[in-house]
């Protein structure tokens, strides 16, 4: 058996298309474009690439992009003042502060200042509590995108055994909560889990988010299971090449022979993250202007 490949790139393109249609409708109803503000502090190369791609995607979706690029020497007070001004700006529906911040800045204090209704990353305490209490909120983009692909593949997740490998605040914990809210039976596994392969083998759904290349082996996978590989790891370059190839946390060549469906790396979860960011910003805009958005429209 060879697993079905879950095409995150195609799924994300479809989601972006729906966002674009609803962004046009929003502009017609509100008289303005939905607005997403992204704050970048310092000159981290990876963050610069991410911010540029987010800005292009925002504009391509028919929304307004507000980029705030601050020097690495920016003070805590100056950054917090900017966040407060964005909270108060009626043209801004979503706020994203690109992490990591320079070491001298307190990222938790900055995130705590973001208006929860503009918190498109879903990192404020309010949105974490909304997720836990099964209330409407804005939830972290990567796990929300994983849920979209899982529900598209499997439909109702009730009663499914799910194992989430990793317990980070960005992916592992919210992923487990989303699966719990969908009535799956969820185990959160990590580096101290006893007999991790045996824990994974009983799962109908495996979400790997540990940041260790090829950690999850093919013989860990239950035949027919659905595998979501969140990991993005760059291997050392081969002789004569500038960059090493990107791989996930799952040993793909092994797992694809056992699983029922699996996301590749690259081209799986990655494209969904920005697509869900746009989705969250648009949902925030509709709520901001108190315009009804049909349930399940996006």
Catalytic residue check, 48:
no
Does residue 98 carry a catalytic annotation?
yes
Entry pTM: 0.95
Give the separation between CA 272 and CA 33, rounded to whole angstroms. Answer: 22
Within a 10 A sphere around the Cβ of 238, how many other Cβ atoms? 9
Given pLDDT bands bounded at 50, 70 and 90, which one contains residue 109? very high
pLDDT at 296: 80
Which of 103-112, 172-181, 289-298 is least confident?
289-298
The per-residue pLDDT for range 111-127, each reduced to its tens digit, is 999 999 999 999 999 99
Beta strands in 49-105 (DSSP E): 64-70, 94-97
- The active-site residue out of 33, 93, 98, 229 is 98
pLDDT band for 95, please (50, 70, 90 cuts): very high
Residue 242 has pLDDT above 80, yes or no: no
- Indicate which residue of 93, 115, 121, 229 is catalytic: 121
Contacts of 201 (CB under 8 A, 6+ apart): 220, 221, 222
Instruction: Tell me what percent of the residues of the chain surpass a pLDDT of 90.
Output: 91
pLDDT above 90: residue 268: yes
Name residues whose C-beta falls within 8 Å of residue 9's C-beta, 6 or more positions apart in sequence: 267, 271
State mean pLDDT over 31-39.
Answer: 98
> Residue 239 — pLDDT band, cuts 50, 70, 90?
confident
- What is residue 69's predicted lDDT score, i.e. its pLDDT? 97
Report pLDDT for 85: 98
The H or E element containing residue 161 is strand 161-165
Domains of the chain: 29-115 (3.40.50.10860), 141-271 (3.40.50.720)
Mean pLDDT, residues 222-233? 97
| Active site annotation includes 54 | yes
What values do phi and psi take at 185, rounded to 5? -95, 115
- Does 193 score more than 90 pLDDT? yes
CA gap 102, 81 in Å, rounded? 17
Asked if the model's pLDDT at residue 1 lies above 80, the reply is no
Mean pLDDT of all residues belonging to the chain: 96
State phi, psi for 247 to the nearest 5 degrees. -135, 165
Q: Tokens at residue 297, please?
A: 């429209």
Whole-number pLDDT of residue 46: 86
* pLDDT-based confidence at residue 68 (cuts at 50, 70, 90): very high
Cα gap 22→135, rounded to integer Å = 23
Residue whose C-alpha is closest to residue 178's, from 256, 230, 221: 230
| Per-residue pLDDT, 127 | 98
CA nearest neighbour of 268 among 3, 2, 6:
6
Q: Identify the CA nearest to 179 among candidates 129, 223, 120, 134.
A: 134
The average pLDDT across 170-182 equals 97
pLDDT tens sequence across 273-291? 999 999 999 999 999 999 9
pLDDT in tens, 5-27: 999 999 999 999 999 999 999 99
Given a cut of 90, whether residue 99 has pLDDT beyond it is yes
Percentages helix, strand, coil for the chain (3-state, rounded to 5) are 40, 15, 40
Q: How far apart are CA 232 and CA 265, in angstroms?
A: 7
Selected catalytic residue, list 54, 118, 160, 222 = 54
Euclidean distance between CA atoms 179 and 186, whole angstroms:
7
Nearest Cα neighbor of 201 from 263, 265, 258 is 258
What confidence tier does 64 reach under pLDDT thresholds 50, 70, 90?
very high
| CA-atom Rg of the chain in angstroms | 19
């Amino acid at each position: 058996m060879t697993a079905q490949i879950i095409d995150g790139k195609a799924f994300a393109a479809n989601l972006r298309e729906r966002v674009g249609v609803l962004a046009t409708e929003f502009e017609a109803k509100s008289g303005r474009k939905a607005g997403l503000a992204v704050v970048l502090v310092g000159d981290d190369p990876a963050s610069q690439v991410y911010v540029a791609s987010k800005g292009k995607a925002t504009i391509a979706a028919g929304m307004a992009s507000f980029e705030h690029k601050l020097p690495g020497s920016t003070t805590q007070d100056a950054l917090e003042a900017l966040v407060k001004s964005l909270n108060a700006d009626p043209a801004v529906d979503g706020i994203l502060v690109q992490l990591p911040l320079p070491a001298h800045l307190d990222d938790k204090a900055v995130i705590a200042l973001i208006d929860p209704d503009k918190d498109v990353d879903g990192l404020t305490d309010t949105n974490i509590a909304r997720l836990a209490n099964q209330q409407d909120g804005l939830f972290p983009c990567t796990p929300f995108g994983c849920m979209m692909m899982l529900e598209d593949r499997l439909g109702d997740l009730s009663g499914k055994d799910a194992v989430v490998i990793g317990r980070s605040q960005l992916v592992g914990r919210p992923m487990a909560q989303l699966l719990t809210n969908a009535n799956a039976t969820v185990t959160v596994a990590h580096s101290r889990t006893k007999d991790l392969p045996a824990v994974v083998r009983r799962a109908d759904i495996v979400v790997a988010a540990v940041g260790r290349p090829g950690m999850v082996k093919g013989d860990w996978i239950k035949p027919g299971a659905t595998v979501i590989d969140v990991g993005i790891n760059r291997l050392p370059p081969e002789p004569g090449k500038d960059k090493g190839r990107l791989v996930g946390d799952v040993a793909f060549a092994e797992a694809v022979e056992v699983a029922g469906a699996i996301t590749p790396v690259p081209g799986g979860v990655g494209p969904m993250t920005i697509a869900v960011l746009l989705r969250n910003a648009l949902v925030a805009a509709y709520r901001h202007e108190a315009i009804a958005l049909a349930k399940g429209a996006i």
